[in-house]
């Protein structure tokens, strides 16, 4: 078993009339179903499978997904979609990452047939680079 510690910090002196400073830290136990950091290049206007499971992941059904769009990507962005495989007609667009953006999402992946996470490069001319990691919670 491995532990995964996440810290989210929101900090701004100009967003609201009063300064904003929020910090949240969480540590979770990840079972053997995980990856190291992986970097993929996605061709122009292409959609690729980022992650696919064939059944519920982990005892909890929760997958932690980290994705970062390279700072060298264009601002067309890359889109991330989630599909529960028991009902593939329902596809959820849950993130658009612009150049340099990062997301970390806990995904409820307790679908008996598994889930599919796709990533799409919206740039019609240039490839995009994404770095990602996922791990399933016990």
User: pLDDT tens, 43-67?
Assistant: 999 999 998 887 765 567 788 899 9
Q: Which pLDDT score, from 0 to 100, does residue 36 have?
A: 85
Look at residue 44 and tell me if it is in a domain.
Answer: yes
Of 76 and 10, the one with more pLDDT: 76
Q: Which pLDDT score, from 0 to 100, does residue 114 have?
A: 82
**CA torsion angle 31 80 117 106 (round to 10):** 30
Q: Rounded to an integer, what distance in angstroms lies between the CA atom of residue 17 and that of residue 68?
A: 31
Contact 119, 79 (CB under 8 A): yes
Contact 27, 116 (CB under 8 A): no
Output the average pLDDT for the chain: 88
- For residue 125, pLDDT over 80 is answered with yes
Q: Which pLDDT score, from 0 to 100, does residue 29 have?
A: 81
- For residue 32, pLDDT over 70 is answered with no
- For residue 90, pLDDT over 90 is answered with no
**CA torsion angle 70 96 134 29 (round to 10):** 120
Q: Is the dihedral of CA 129, 72, 99, 5 positive or negative?
A: positive
Q: Which pLDDT score, from 0 to 100, does residue 78 have?
A: 97
Which residues, including other chains, have CB under 8 Å from residue 81's CB and lie 6 or more apart?
A: 91, 92, 93, 94, 117, 118, 119, 120
- For residue 129, pLDDT over 60 is answered with yes
Residues pairing with 41 in the sheet: 129
Look at residue 13 and tell me if it is in a domain.
Answer: no
Q: Which pLDDT score, from 0 to 100, does residue 56 have?
A: 61
Look at residue 5 and tell me if it is in a domain.
Answer: no
Domain residues for the domain of 69 are 33-137
Question: What number of helices (H) and strands (E) belong to the chain?
Answer: 0, 10
Look at residue 20 and tell me if it is in a domain.
Answer: no
Look at residue 16 and tell me if it is in a domain.
Answer: no
Number of domains in the chain: 1
Residue 119 is part of a domain; what is its CATH number? 2.60.120.510
Q: Which pLDDT score, from 0 to 100, does residue 113 have?
A: 80
- For residue 120, pLDDT over 70 is answered with yes
DSSP-derived pairing of the beta strands 128-137 and 38-42: antiparallel
pLDDT in tens, 1-31: 788 888 888 899 998 888 889 999 988 888 7
């Amino acid at each position: 078993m491995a532990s995964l510690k996440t810290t989210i910090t929101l900090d701004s002196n100009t967003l609201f009339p009063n300064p904003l400073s929020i910090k949240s830290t969480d540590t979770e136990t990840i079972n053997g179903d995980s990856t190291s950091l992986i970097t993929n290049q996605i061709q122009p206007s292409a959609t690729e499978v980022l992650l696919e499971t064939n059944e519920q992941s982990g005892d909890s059904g929760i997958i932690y997904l980290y994705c970062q769009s390279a700072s060298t990507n264009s601002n067309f962005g890359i889109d991330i979609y989630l599909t529960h495989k028991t009902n593939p007609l329902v596809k959820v667009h849950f993130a658009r990452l612009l150049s340099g953006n990062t997301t970390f999402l806990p995904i409820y992946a307790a679908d008996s047939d598994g889930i599919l996470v796709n990533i799409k490069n919206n740039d019609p001319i240039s490839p995009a680079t994404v770095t990602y990691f996922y791990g399933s919670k016990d």
